[in-house]
Structure 1
Amino acid sequence: MTVTTTLGPVDARRAAAARYRAAMAEVPQILDLAAEACQAPTALIVVTTGADSVVTYGRDGAAEFPALLWEHVKATGRLTVIDDGRFMVAAPLRHEGHVVGALGVFDDLPRCDGEQTGRLLAAIARRVDEETRLRHRSANQPFPAAADHHDVVSAISHEIRTPLANIVGFAEMLVDTTADVPGSDRRVDAIRRNTDRLCRTVDNLMHAASLQMGQLVGERRAVDLAEIVSRAAAAVGDPGDRLDVRLPGDPVQVLADARLVQVAVEHLLANALRFSGADGSVAVSLTAEPAPALTVRDSGPGLGADELGSLGTPFVRGAQARDDQVPGLGLGLSICRGIVHAHGGALSLTSPPGEGLTARITLPEFDKHDDALEGAQ
């Protein structure tokens, strides 16, 4: 006998809120965007955890979302603007037809642009709802079996790449045209930062599609692996100077497509920086003997044997990455491994207890006398 239980309004909202919290990502970026766009010193997000309790996310640690403002938004489901000595505006966050939270900005001074700010905040809240809905679907619904995975990924990637190219171009123009506008440098930097992330996502999707179709090979030439590692370290960005890169004095020659190998190395460095925390260091070393080998060791918590075995599977992410809502698609290591294997090399991952995660790439040594291989596909 099958028993069907129908959730009441409170339980349904509670369940929707739990799914919203699980799918919601990058809260600090959302709050930075809301504060910058609305020119407000404070931005907060509140999401329900039950019938009467909430959790608040603030840019600067612990903060309290005004209870009366949240109760009004929850009860009416509408944008609420209060400008009575202190300016407050909150837009509802929705999931599966339920109001599950609110996005708010606050100023200690009265404002003359309350309605305009409210409309802007409501637009941002709708985008958060939409992204959260998509994240929830992608995490809980399998890719349609009837669809050609490779064609879909390729088509989506190309459709995203075209508008991204325009965004990058206009962002560069903004640098010159808004130099004297207060706060413009932060906005342009935000555009660049998020555009760079989208570009990397598109590139990862394209590489993943090429990998599945056996096309991730490229044009192989004699290249210096030390130079590739140096370029990759500069490309990932390391403002905290956390990368400790040790390279040999002499070139380490390998037969490889320099662009693809740099992509693989960048993935390893970016992952290591991401999971080492704000103060953690990453040890990078390159050796030439007995075969060219690059070792990247992070200072994170490491992984258990079960998780370690599943790393490198497309779209599979570690529990910590999911719990901490670290951005990513779970493609980096699979792309890295595919590139390395296509070059006749190997990628190994180890995680001794308390010693973080160590990734090691080995590539075949370039035979200077085998001229016939140079330029081979």
Structure 2
Amino acid sequence: MKAPVPFDEPARLAALHDAGVLDTAPEEDFDDIALLAAEICGTSMGLVSLVDSDRQWFKAKVGLDLNHVPREFSFCSHTIIGHELLEVPDASADKRFSDNPYVLNGLRFYAGVPVVLDGTYAVGTVCVVDREPRKLNKAQRRGLRSLARHASVQLELRRYARHAGDIADRMRQLDRMKDSFLATVSHELRTPLSTIRGYLEMLLEGDFDGETSRRFLGVMQRNSDRLLRLIDELLLVARLTDEAMELDVNELDLADLTHQVTTGCRPLAEHKKVRLRDHTGSPVPARGDAKRLTQALNHLVVNAIKFTAEGGEIIVTAKSDGEPEMTITDNGVGIAQEDLPHVFDRFYRCASADLMAVQGPGLGLAIVKSIIEAHHGSVHLSSEPGVGTTVRLTLSNR
């Protein structure tokens, strides 16, 4: 008779796989448990088994050559239904097992205790098997339960050790990200400051005509603006870390907002010799914070210009197809597949940014995502290296 599936089967399997022990090499700790189980109970076979979705796999075994058996023929699949010891004195006389192929081949006795993780999930058993009918005494049952608890502890230890290793890896990654961030921010701050200082020294030390002085002052102003933008981004990210973004929500027209952003970005696109096309049409009514949405869209359009080579094209649209949305599509360098899961992470800079010497600390897309999510909307980004990138901002109707 096939065993019923535990009511918590998905969570049970998740706990089993999280332990990371399935299909691993033999270990002395588990081998000792199987050996002691057979010796204490006086059986020819002792096992530490784990019950997967379709098989019972043996982490340790004594007196058995098999590595696993189908779950449908597994005695342990009945044991993991609960947390109590299951004892079958004579399987040939038990209607649950009498037609089991292993019983028909001579197996008679079984006793198993669940191996439980998190005090909840029965992921396997410590069990003993024999070809002769028998019955355990109280001391043997007590010993089998003790060994099952020991097996549970061993599994937990391995899971904790693996998680500790993962955490250590993430901490090392965070250290690398911190170092990279500090180096990037230091560079972003020092570069415009050095430029401003250099032109200021020339103005103070030299005797330049009015036109040259105005040109120098223009460079200093642009670098000052760059510094202010960087500081604003850093302050905004710092605020978002501690509190939700405050919005000034009003009725607005996304088509008009999109048109204003593309008009403001067109001089930069012309300087890069990139075509910036505004495909907005009829009004797109929406509710939102015009200042924040302009900030998000402006960043995406400027980003597209930076990552699109001379002669490339960027198309910006706004429409309402069920929900208001804005789309920015370019045929620029694109983003590598390995970078895509991280592009919205704070301080993350993809390889193409360094390749094209694009400035910035890697905060823009994180800020865009925060702005749109504060509007109960979503950001969808798709990209292919050498083909281009499309970013779609969707706002909620509520």
TM-score, normalised with respect to structure 1: 0.48
TM-score (norm 2): 0.46
- The structure whose RCO (Cα within 8 Å, separation 6+) is larger is 1
